[in-house]
Chain A
Amino acid sequence: MIAQSQLYGLMAEWDNPDDLLYAAQQASTEGFRHMDAYTPFPVEGLPEAVGCRPTRLPFLVLCGGLFGGVGGFFMQYYANVHAYPLNVGGRPFNSWPAFVPITFELTILCAALTAVFGMLIANGLPMPYHPVFNAPHFERASRNRFFLCIEATDPHFDRSKTRQFLENLRPQSVSEVPC
């Protein structure tokens, strides 16, 4: 038996997504907030049930895209109008239609890079160690098992009562996850 201070949480597993979704909803109603679910594929309604809040990432991606678009346009504008004006077939120096493809591409590039790196930073990835992997046969979360972990940091967390609560939801098993 591991000490309370070394406990990351209690992990329960089910063999189908519906039971997990029901369990997560019950846990949410029960007042648990610090919990997370682990499934082999996205389960509709699960993020809401475990209390996933909308992140700031979409806003960051928008900013990244705007930066790429505005920067991309002015890069071309500056080069063609101020730094090195060149008469190409009598077209105006500020040939904005010709600038659009590069502006567009840089918008996408910067938005995509912001999305990838913003996601990694916000997730705290790469993360060489995480306690949930201490749970028995947790590797099946990427195959055919559906896990719900109620974390010890939750104000309502009580080792025996929370275990009893999870047992009542008829999981395949409940196990303690050490830190």
Chain B
Amino acid sequence: MTTATPAQRLLTRSQRTALTVGVAGALASIVGAFFNPDQFFRSYLIALLFWLGIALGSLGLLMIYHLVGGTWGFILRRILEAATLTLPLLALVWLPLALGYQHIYPWATAGALAGAEAAHRRTYLSFPFWFGRAVAYWLIWSVIAYVLNRLSRLQDQAATPVPTARLVRLSPPGLILLVLTVSFAWIDWVMSLEPDWYSTIFGFIALVGHGMAALCFALIVVLLLIDREPFATLLGDKPSRLNDLGNLLLTFVMLWAYTSFSQFLIIWYGNLQRETVWYRHRMAGAWEYVALALIVLHFFVPFLLLLSRSIKRRPQILLGLAAGLLLMHLIDIWWQVLPAFHPTGLSLHWQDIVAPIALGGLWLAASLWLIQRRPLLAQRDPHAPQLVAYAGAEPAT
């Protein structure tokens, strides 16, 4: 092991802080679990959805990168790869949720889905089937993450184009699998919180949110390291690369608004009791202010700011925007999940805040540790820009 570079020192320090915060938060959550197990599992679900979203979004961004290339992906690649490697760990984190599913899902109580028209839903939302599907999702996600990272390592080591070609060939089926599994997972874990309601675009909205969250996470890591090698060379005098990353963020902000509004418009226009109920729970009892905040701060403000070229080229502002959007993404999850438990009015338990922080600390510690396992830039990436020779580059071993 050579001496730590400045980038590694910052990563190690952040990893330690994250671990401390994570352990402290986890202890608080466990105390909370004894007083209010219902609340514990609900907050746990929110925490899992948020951090799992980042890992899944990273999976999607990576496969898109292997398909289309581009310097943006070369910059973010290692951070995204590290995030995807947390998926098997997140599967373990999910297991307690499966044990406590009765605390969360209304369909778990006998007689919840009564009536002839709910017959199919009774089968679909029976525990064994629900659990079996979840096992399949976790397996598929972990295998995709493993294959992508394995081929990436081979690409680094070998001088043959074989791993690169495999990455290109496996990414399209991987993306199709990802869209399908994430859609079904979000139907199973989020939409079924109100089992009488359904929307076909729901999974895709979630997926767009994941992509945005993953991009924000990777951007934050890169922008915090921007004064240190290798990112100082890669981004320092190349504001156009920051511009590209800002445009990518703008795309996700717009796509999120586009898909979210599509769902709202169709349900609003259809005006059917069984469909509008989801929005009625989320537009009453002060939840409407949260919805308004989402429209303004998750769309209009970042959208208008990111239109400006000079803003996209300022690392500090871009960093603030990415952090702000990540927070808005958490609020989006609160707004989607919490009204299912509190349809009459706004309610935010302390555990809803502590649980995402606790899991976040642990997840970040794991991701930052994984980031440091490998050089911060890919060694033989065909999409690498020409200037990869930077001070402190480690020769491929």
**Which A residues contact B (CB, under 8 angstroms)?**
44, 58, 62, 89, 91, 97-98, 100-101
Contacts and interface: CB of A to CB of B under 8 A. Distances in A.
Chain B residues touching A, majority SS? helix
Contacts of B126: none
Chain A residues touching B, majority SS? helix
B269 A100 contact: no
B240 A100 contact: no
A98 B261 contact: no
A100 B261 contact: yes
A44 B240 contact: yes
A70 B264 CA distance: 22
Nearest to A91: B271
B268 interface: yes
Contact of A97 (B238, B268, B307): B268
A98 B271 contact: no
Contacts of B265: 97-98, 100-101
B240 A98 contact: no
Contacts of B309: 58
Going nearest first, the 7 A-B pairs with the smallest beta carbon separation are A97-B268, A97-B265, A98-B269, A44-B240, A100-B261, A89-B271, A100-B265
Contacts of A98: 265, 269
10 contacts: A58-B309, A89-B271, A91-B271, A97-B261, A97-B265, A97-B269, A98-B265, A98-B269, A100-B265, A101-B265
A31 to B, nearest CB: 23
A44 B264 CA distance: 43
For A58, A91, A97, which residue has the most chain B Cβ atoms within 10 angstroms?
A: A97
A72 to B, nearest CB: 16
B240 A97 contact: no
Contacts of B307: 62
Interface string B261-280: 10011001101000000000
Given A89-B271, A91-B271, A97-B261, 13 more contacts: A44-B238, A44-B240, A58-B309, A62-B307, A97-B264, A97-B265, A97-B268, A97-B269, A98-B265, A98-B269, A100-B261, A100-B265, A101-B265
